[in-house]
């Protein structure tokens, strides 16, 4: 069994480092048109029917079209989701020195024997930058990318509000029926014990930009709940007033406590004699101290009593080792130690033991489209051959209030104890 545990942990380590290496390559990308990109979830429908390519060229014959099956959402700068699509451009010209320029990147086309130049590459639908055409180093035209309004009953159906904004109840008014994308990052500001939130809001629109013609994405920052208002101009010259509202947390506590309660099935074994205690009341205490945004110290205590008792407590360092699937899947190692206390019945003395099982937690954020919810699966197990055989598996689902299915077992020689059941957890207190 311990040999199988070693194999299991080694497989997990290989998966984790593979994901981590992939993420490192992904994060090198700076443009959503060229190079490797992190593919995001498609929650706003957009296709070639919603995009017009307007060609304005002189001295050459140009055609352009968007591949209707090439639309995908990619994550820009680790926070903002943007749609891109593959455009195909054909230029009929006898000149040999022809190239394209898009987002300050020169693109060299292919050439066929019938004097046709052609090129395919990705364009950003929400960053209204033109494709420039050059012949003999002279700009002879451009291809403009125009997004059509999609009139729907829900005027904000075309708003891609990223899950990163979900905890802050973000709203944008003034761009109804327009394609926009918004992403959020929360920073801690202020002194220790008095830390508050500063919300960075990244946003871009398909057809509207600020009056100074600076290209998106744009950034707005909020340190309280006062709204942000600004004016934008459309490609047709029309003006709109945009309002951004969000709920920014006034206090960000580093130390949090939660409690869980529920019935558990309790079983003990002492000197070969098995005692099935049946269902018994149990209590769990969870605490977490945030060190950085991606690391923390965690403590848990699971206590069950009926005639005798079983207490399992642990303290662990946890950190986000890798993310995948558009940052919604997180791999978290748990490194630390535990204390066990067992009393088989009132006729026996208590038994106490320090053990060192290590663990891993897999977190899936916003499962089934449920914003701010999380689905957590985790385990603790002994990674080497030791006299204590310990297992701890759990599955947790919810947000502030959550459900947890848990199984804990321990065995040493002729002594053993196990507990399993379902509990409900809820916040208890927070400070620091």
Rounded to 5°, angle at Cα 421 from 419 and 426:
115
One domain for residues 12 and 69: no
In tens, the pLDDT along 227-238 reads 999 999 987 788
Pairing of β 159-161 and β 180-189: parallel
Strand partners, 379: 360, 393
Residue 11 has pLDDT above 70, yes or no: no
Kindly state whether residue 321 falls inside one of the protein's structural domains.
Answer: yes
- Average pLDDT, rounded, for the chain: 85
Q: How much is the pLDDT for 25?
A: 37
Q: Examine the domain organization and report whether 184 and 285 are in the same domain.
A: no
Cis peptide before 217 (omega within 30 of 0): yes
Cis peptide before 133 (omega within 30 of 0): no
Residue 125: per-residue pLDDT: 84
Q: Do residue 228 and residue 184 come from a single domain?
A: yes
pLDDT for residue 126: 80
Report whether pLDDT(276) > 70: no
Both 421 and 351 in one domain: the answer is yes
**Does residue 152 sit within a domain?**
no
The pLDDT tens digits of the residues spanning 203-224 come to 998 888 888 878 788 999 999 9
Write down the pLDDT at residue 29. 37
Confidence of residue 28 (pLDDT cuts 50, 70, 90): very low
3-state DSSP call for residue 120? strand
Last residue of a domain, one of 195, 215, 245: 245
Q: Is the predicted pLDDT of residue 360 greater than 60, yes or no?
A: yes
- Judge if 271 and 399 occupy the same domain: yes
Q: What is the pLDDT of residues 39-85, one digit of tens each?
A: 888 888 887 787 889 999 988 899 999 998 888 899 888 888 999 99
185 has pLDDT over 60: yes
Residues 39, 17 within the same domain: no
Over 90: is that where the pLDDT of 401 sits? Answer: yes
Same domain, 298 and 223: no
- Cα distance between residue 371 and residue 165, in whole Å: 10
For residue 8, pLDDT over 50 is answered with no
Taken in order 153, 155, 158, 160, the sign of the CA dihedral is negative
> What is the distance between the alpha carbons of residues 186 and 94, in angstroms, rounded to a whole number?
55
Is the pLDDT at 308 greater than 90, yes or no?
no
Q: What pLDDT, on the 0 to 100 scale, is given for residue 385? A: 56
Residue 240 falls inside a structural domain: yes
190 and 141 housed in the same domain: no
Does one domain contain both 116 and 37?
yes
CA angle 385/353/386 to nearest 5° reads: 5
CB 127 within 8 A of CB 204: yes
The reply to whether 187 and 124 lie within a common domain is no
pTM: 0.78
Q: Is the dihedral of CA 257, 259, 265, 268 positive or negative?
A: positive
Kindly state the DSSP code that residue 126 receives in the 8-state scheme.
T
pLDDT at residue 10, rounded to an integer? 43
Provide the residue range defining the domain that includes 286.
2-21+254-431
The answer as to whether 153 is a domain residue is no
Clarify whether residues 215 and 273 are in a common domain.
no
- 149: confidence class by pLDDT, cuts 50, 70, 90: low
pLDDT for residue 282: 92
Mean pLDDT, range 146-175, rounded to an integer: 82
Percent of the chain residues past pLDDT 90, beyond the cut: 50
Q: Is residue 154 part of a domain?
A: no
Closest C-alpha to 140, from 53, 55, 235, 54: 55
The Cα 63–Cα 54 span in angstroms is: 10
Count up the domains in the chain and report the number: 3
Measure the CA–CA gap between 159 and 247, rounded to whole angstroms: 18
Among 195, 214, 245, the domain boundary falls at 245
* The two structure tokens encoding residue 4: 């199988």
Task: Tell me the CATH number at 264.
Answer: 2.40.128.100
**Residue 229: what pLDDT?**
94
Same domain, residue pair 113 and 172: no
Whether 78 is covered by a domain: the verdict is yes
């Amino acid at each position: 069994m311990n040999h199988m545990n070693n194999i299991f942990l080694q497989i997990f380590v290989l998966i984790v480092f593979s994901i981590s290496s992939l993420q490192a390559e992904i994060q090198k990308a700076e443009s959503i048109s060229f190079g490797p990109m992190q593919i995001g979830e498609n929650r706003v429908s957009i296709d070639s029917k919603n995009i017009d390519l307007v060609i304005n060229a002189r001295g050459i014959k140009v055609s352009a079209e968007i591949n209707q099956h090439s639309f995908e959402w990619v994550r820009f700068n680790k926070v903002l989701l943007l749609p891109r699509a593959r455009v195909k451009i054909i230029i009929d010209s006898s000149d040999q020195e022809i190239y394209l320029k898009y987002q300050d990147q020169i693109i060299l086309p292919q050439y066929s024997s019938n004097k046709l130049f052609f090129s395919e590459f990705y364009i950003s639908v929400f960053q209204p930058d033109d494709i420039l055409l050059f012949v003999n180093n002279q700009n002879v035209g451009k291809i403009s990318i125009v997004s059509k309004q999609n009139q729907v009953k829900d005027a904000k159906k075309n708003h891609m509000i990223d899950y990163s904004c979900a905890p802050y109840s973000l709203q944008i008014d003034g761009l109804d029926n327009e394609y926009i994308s918004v992403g959020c990052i929360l920073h801690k500001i202020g002194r220790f014990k008095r830390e508050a939130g500063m919300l960075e809001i990244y946003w871009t629109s398909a057809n509207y930009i600020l009056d100074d013609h600076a290209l998106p994405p744009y950034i707005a920052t909020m340190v309280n709940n006062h709204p942000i208002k600004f004016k934008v101009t459309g490609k047709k010259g029309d003006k709109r007033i945009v309002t951004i509202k969000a709920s920014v947390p006034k206090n960000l506590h580093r130390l949090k406590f939660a409690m869980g309660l529920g019935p558990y099935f309790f079983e003990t074994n002492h000197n070969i004699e098995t005692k099935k205690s049946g269902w018994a009341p149990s209590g769990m205490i969870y605490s977490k101290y945030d060190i950085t945004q991606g690391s923390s110290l965690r403590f848990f205590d699971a206590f069950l009593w009926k005639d005798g008792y079983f207490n399992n407590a642990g303290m662990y360092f946890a950190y986000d080792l890798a993310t995948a699937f558009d940052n919604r899947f997180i791999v978290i190692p748990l490194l630390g130690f535990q204390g066990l206390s067992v009393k088989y019945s009132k006729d026996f003395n208590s038994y106490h033991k320090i053990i060192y099982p290590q663990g891993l937690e897999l977190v899936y954020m916003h499962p089934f489209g449920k914003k701010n919810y999380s689905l957590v699966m985790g385990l603790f197990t002994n990674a080497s051959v030791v006299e204590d055989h310990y297992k701890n598996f759990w599955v947790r689902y919810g947000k502030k209030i959550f459900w947890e299915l848990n199984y804990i077992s321990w065995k040493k020689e002729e002594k053993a104890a196990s507990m399993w059941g379902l509990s409900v957890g809820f916040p208890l207190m927070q400070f620091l």
